[in-house]
């Protein structure tokens, strides 16, 4: 799979599958309506739904759950060349995870504009995170302490280069 | 605890603990040097280290691991009023999770400027995520399909308001 090689037919197939997962999960458990399908070389290798209600894990978004399952199955934290199909607009947590794992592309069906009416938008989090650190609601402060006279990052470099 | 109520002494204590966790984990397992401590009302309720090497889970950052543990212990996905102390600069995935869970503040000791020299900076991911969707390396596309004649979000609203 090279970049941008997803065909309209496969995009529709996998998005439909992501929406079906969301719908099944909503109907079965009352979960928030989000599903995701993670595809490598045209094959589904992992899926996820929003599991926050069932697990109380605030990071159990559909996309993050699929990413974790895919990494477990592939035995690697790297997901280069994989494509995510999500029913909803990825939130910044999930999007950052996609960036960091090398996901190639993400397609989604319901954007934040649509979700806003239902309280299912993460646009406010995106807006917040676009601000400089010192202007975000969450107080973010660097306090550059270096206890014990040992520099953590120097130690890491010594351990990993020996 | 009201906003900004962390004293310099407690900030130093908990940051030192986060750095100690990172150092222990690095020494014991060769893990990437990151630790985090999650505090509620002055008490540590969860800790985390980077577990990617051990688990292949790309989301197992110290902060996200501590957030998951805290939510499990509290029995709630909300962490309002909690404070995170992290050895390193939080990445956008972890920062977004903090925003979404209601974390009040985060303090960290090693910023991305320092981490850059060691390949331990996430500044590039922040830069990428500040761009509009259509200019990011990861291809991000909304394809607003609505299969089956049932609107997923309408269904969710009906289920949750009944």
Find tokens 């289920």 and name the residue: B159
- Give pLDDT tens digits for B79-137: 999 999 999 999 999 999 999 999 999 999 999 999 999 999 999 999 999 999 999 99
A61 interfacial to chain B (CB closer than 8 Å):
no
Cβ(A91)–Cβ(A61) below 8 Å: yes
> Rounded distance, CA A39 to CA B40, Å?
39
Judge: B125–A59 Cβ closer than 8 Å, yes or no: no
Q: Is A63 exposed, middle or buried (0-12, 13-18, 19+ CB in 10 A)?
A: buried
- In total, the C-beta contacts within 8 angstroms joining chain A to chain B are 244
A131 interfacial to chain B (CB closer than 8 Å):
no
When the pLDDT of each residue in chain B is averaged and rounded to a whole number, the result is: 94
pLDDT of residue B5: 83
Residues B37-69: b if buried by 16+ CB within 10 A, e if exposed: bbbbeeeebbbbbbbbeeebbbbbbbbbbbbbb
A110 interfacial to chain B (CB closer than 8 Å):
yes
Residue among A131, A133, A139 at smallest CA distance from B1:
A139
* Predicted TM-score of the model (pTM): 0.95
B103 interfacial to chain A (CB closer than 8 Å):
yes
pLDDT of residue B4: 53
Q: Of the listed A41, A63, A69, A104, which one is catalytic? A: A63
> Rounded distance, CA A152 to CA B22, Å?
8
Residue to test with chain A: of B138, B159, B161, most A Cβ within 10 A = B138
Judge: B4–A139 Cβ closer than 8 Å, yes or no: yes
> Rounded distance, CA A145 to CA B108, Å?
9
- pLDDT of B46 over the 90 cut: yes
Q: With bands split at pLDDT 50, 70 and 90, how would you rate the model's confidence at A1? A: very low
For the segment B7-19, the average pLDDT, to the nearest whole number, is 97
Q: With bands split at pLDDT 50, 70 and 90, how would you rate the model's confidence at A150? A: confident
For the segment B7-31, the average pLDDT, to the nearest whole number, is 96
- pLDDT of B2 over the 70 cut: no
- Give pLDDT tens digits for A71-118: 999 999 999 999 999 999 999 999 999 999 999 999 999 999 999 999
Cβ(B46)–Cβ(B79) below 8 Å: no
Minimum Cα–Cα distance from B60: chain A residue? A68
Q: Give the H or E element holding residue A61.
A: none
Q: Tell me whether residue B63 is one of the annotated catalytic residues.
A: yes
Nearest to B68 among A11, A57, A130 (CB): A57
Minimum Cα–Cα distance from A17: chain B residue? B147
- Give pLDDT tens digits for A16-52: 999 999 999 999 999 999 999 999 999 999 999 999 9
């Amino acid at each position: 799979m090279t970049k941008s090689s997803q065909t309209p037919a496969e995009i529709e197939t996998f998005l439909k599958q992501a929406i079906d997962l969301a719908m099944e999960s909503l109907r079965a458990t009352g979960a928030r309506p989000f599903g995701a399908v993670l595809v490598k070389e045209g094959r589904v290798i992992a899926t996820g739904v929003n599991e926050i209600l069932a697990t109380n894990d605030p990071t159990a978004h559909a996309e993050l759950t699929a990413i974790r399952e895919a990494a477990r199955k592939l035995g690697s934290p790297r997901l280069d060349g994989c494509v995510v199909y999500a029913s909803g607009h990825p939130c910044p947590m999930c999007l950052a995870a996609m960036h960091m794992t090398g996901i190639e592309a993400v397609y989604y069906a319901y954007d934040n504009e649509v979700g806003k009416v239902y309280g299912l938008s993460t646009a406010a989090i995106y807006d917040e995170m676009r601000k400089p650190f010192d202007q975000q609601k969450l107080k973010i402060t660097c306090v550059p302490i270096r206890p014990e006279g040992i520099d953590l990052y120097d130690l890491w470099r010594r351990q990993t280069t020996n």
